[in-house]
């Protein structure tokens, strides 16, 4: 029922080797996770999963010898199996989306890293929670689209959920241990508000009229972080911060009025928690995802991450500004969806995924993204989500509507 297990339970568990299922192994988070794992002999890669990238998956299998390798794409699975056979590998290849759930819920798995991008990651992340795994959640879209159900499943299980998103990982590190339990009232713990920091992305200083001509290459060039293309576009539009406000509300059981956003271009303070007495606790570090990954893998212990240590004397000024909701309407839409609740975040997420894909394919402009999302939200009624099937239906309806809106532009 608790979000966090008692430290003693995990300390004793961490003395034997920990079996990890790494979902989304070929992505940016997946690769960083393997870099951290490679530094420590007591973590064992039990399963790796990817969508289509056979070459990288082959290299990862040969390096880490997992028991299972999942390729969602059937053709890619066949090619991988053939290449592994040629190399006399003992790794078993599974195919299709159901295999993601199979490995996420496998009885031999202790820890699941949920690092698939987008709604495709929901079934496997949810299965990991339902099977009481230690779940390291990078896939924020799963929580945004089905937060109530996800947190309900967590409360009904013995799973431990640790946020990988750097801001939420920072908040987690700044909260008192008692306040991290599901249903715990943060105010009773003296917490006044959560402050999520945002780099502001590559267009932080661009005038509004220049944003319509933005190219996918410009949007994917983040000033501080190296990430997958979808989250890079989300960071450029600031929808990433909108999704993160929703993510924080679900993870920490608070309303959106409890969550503030501050632009912090240097990405050194990863987020903060303000207490009733005026104390503000901040978590700082180099902008390197290996830090939250190592923190969550080892929690409640600490291990080496391989990330560079922070030298504040070389850092220069740390700045903080209010976000500009007029130039970045996606952040406003995310905040509004958090306030509306129900299926509003599900619709927002689905429309955003379609809009971002359309922008990356050259079919829509950067400034169409918020228009597509707002148009989709306007045409759908937000209801309370009471089942995964309902979430799936709402997600599909929103995608179809968003595609129709793109077609009529």
Report the nearest approach of ligand NAD to the CB of residue 26 (Å).
4
- Among the listed residues 131, 134, 140, 241, the single contact to ligand NAD using CB under 6 A: 140
Does residue number 353 form part of the binding site for Mg ion (CB under 5 A)?
no
Interface residues for ligand NAD in 22-51 (CB under 6 A)? 24-30, 50-51
Distance from the first to the final alpha carbon of the chain: 47
Is position 289 an interface residue for ligand NAD (rule: CB under 6 A)? yes
CB 197, CB 165: distance < 8 Å: no
Lookup: tokens for 188: 């009773």
The answer to whether 395 contacts Mg ion (rule: CB under 5 A) is: no
Among 43, 141, 323, 403, binds ligand NAD (CB under 6 A): 141
288 scored as a contact of Mg ion (CB under 5 A): no
3-state per-residue secondary structure call for 205-253: CCCHHHHHHCCHHHHCCCCCCCCCHHHHHHHHHCHHHHHHHHHHHHHHC
Position with the least CB separation from Mg ion: 165
Q: Which does 267 bind (CB under 5 to 8 A by kind): Mg ion, ligand NAD, none?
A: none
**Contact flag: residue 127 with ligand NAD (CB under 6 A):** no
The answer to whether residue 72 forms part of the interface with ligand NAD (CB under 6 A) is yes
Q: Map residues 207-236 to x or -, x wherever contact with ligand NAD holds by CB under 6 A.
A: ------------------x-xx-xx-----
The answer to whether residues 243 and 119 touch, using CB atoms and an 8 Å cutoff, is no
The reply to whether 117 sits near ligand NAD by the rule CB under 6 A is yes
Instruction: Give the per-residue contact string, 113-152, with Mg ion (x = CB under 5 A; - = no).
Output: ----------------------------------------
Total of chain residues touching ligand NAD, rule CB under 6 A: 26
Q: Which residue has the tokens 């798995």?
A: 109
Q: How far is CA 393 from CA 146, 158, 263, 278, 399, in A?
A: 12, 28, 35, 45, 10
**Alpha-carbon distance 160 to 162, whole Å?**
7
Rule CB under 5 A: choose which of 4, 103, 165, 345 binds Mg ion: 165
Contact call for residues 334 and 246 (beta carbons, < 8 A): yes
Whether residue 397 contacts residue 403, with contact meaning beta carbons closer than 8 Å, is answered with no
Q: Which residue stretch of 83-91, 165-173, 188-196, 320-328 sits at the interface with Mg ion (rule: CB under 5 A)?
A: 165-173
Strand order in the sheet with 280-284: 259-263, 191-198, 269-275, 280-284
- Footprint of Mg ion on 215-244 (CB under 5 A): none
Q: Mark residue 341 as left, alpha or beta (left: phi above 0; alpha: psi -120 to 50; beta: remaining).
A: left
> CA 383, 384, 386, 392 torsion: positive or negative?
positive
Minimal distance in Å, beta carbon 222 to ligand NAD? Answer: 9
Binding mask 87-116 for ligand NAD (x = CB under 6 A): ----------------------------xx
Contact 380, 396 (CB under 8 A): no
Give rounded-to-5 percent helix, strand, coil for the chain. Answer: 50, 15, 35
Q: Is 69 a residue that touches ligand NAD (CB under 6 A)?
A: no
Task: State the residues that interact with ligand NAD by CB under 6 A.
Answer: 24-30, 50-51, 53, 72, 115-117, 120, 138-141, 165, 225, 227-228, 230-231, 289
Positions touching Mg ion (CB under 5 A) are 165-167
């Amino acid at each position: 029922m608790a979000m966090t297990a008692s430290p003693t339970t995990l300390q004793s568990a961490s003395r034997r080797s920990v079996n990890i299922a790494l979902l989304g192994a070929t992505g940016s988070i997946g690769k960083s996770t393997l870099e951290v794992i490679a530094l420590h002999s007591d973590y064992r890669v039990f399963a790796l999963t990817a969508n289509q990238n056979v070459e990288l998956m082959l290299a990862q299998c040969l390096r880490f010898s997992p028991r299972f390798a999942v390729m969602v794409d059937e053709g890619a699975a066949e090619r991988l199996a053939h290449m592994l056979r040629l190399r006399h590998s003992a790794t078993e290849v599974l195919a299709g989306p159901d295999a993601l759930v199979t490995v996420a819920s496998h009885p031999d798995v202790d820890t699941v890293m949920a690092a698939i991008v987008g709604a495709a990651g929901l079934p496997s992340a949810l299965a990991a929670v339902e099977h009481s795994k230690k779940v390291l959640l990078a896939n924020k879209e799963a929580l945004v689209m089905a937060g109530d159900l996800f947190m309900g499943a967590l409360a009904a299980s013995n799973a431990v959920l640790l946020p990988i998103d750097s801001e939420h990982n920072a908040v987690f590190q700044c909260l008192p241990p008692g306040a991290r339990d599901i249903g715990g009232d943060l105010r009773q713990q003296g917490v006044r508000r959560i402050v999520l920091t945002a780099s502001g992305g590559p267009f932080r200083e661009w005038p509004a009229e220049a944003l319509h001509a933005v190219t996918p290459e410009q949007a994917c060039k983040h000033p501080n972080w190296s990430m997958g293309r979808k989250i890079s576009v989300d960071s450029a539009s600031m929808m990433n911060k909108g999704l993160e406000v929703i993510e924080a509300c679900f993870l920490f059981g608070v309303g959106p009025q409890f969550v503030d956003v501050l632009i912090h271009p240097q990405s050194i303070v990863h987020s903060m928690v303000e207490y009733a007495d005026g104390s503000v606790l901040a978590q700082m570090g180099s902008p390197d995802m290996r830090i939250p990954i190592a923190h969550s893998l080892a929690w409640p212990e600490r291990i080496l991450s391989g990330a560079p240590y922070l030298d504040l004397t070389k850092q220069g000024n740390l700045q903080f500004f209010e976000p500009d909701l007029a130039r970045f309407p996606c952040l406003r839409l995310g905040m509004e969806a958090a306030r509306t609740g129900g299926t509003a975040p599900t619709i927002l997420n689905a429309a955003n995924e379609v809009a971002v894909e359309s922008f990356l394919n050259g079919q829509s402009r950067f400034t169409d993204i918020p228009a597509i999302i707002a148009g989709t939200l306007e045409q759908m009624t937000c209801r309370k989500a009471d089942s995964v099937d309902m979430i799936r239906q709402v997600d599909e309806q929103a995608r179809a509507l968003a595609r129709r809106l793109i077609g009529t532009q």
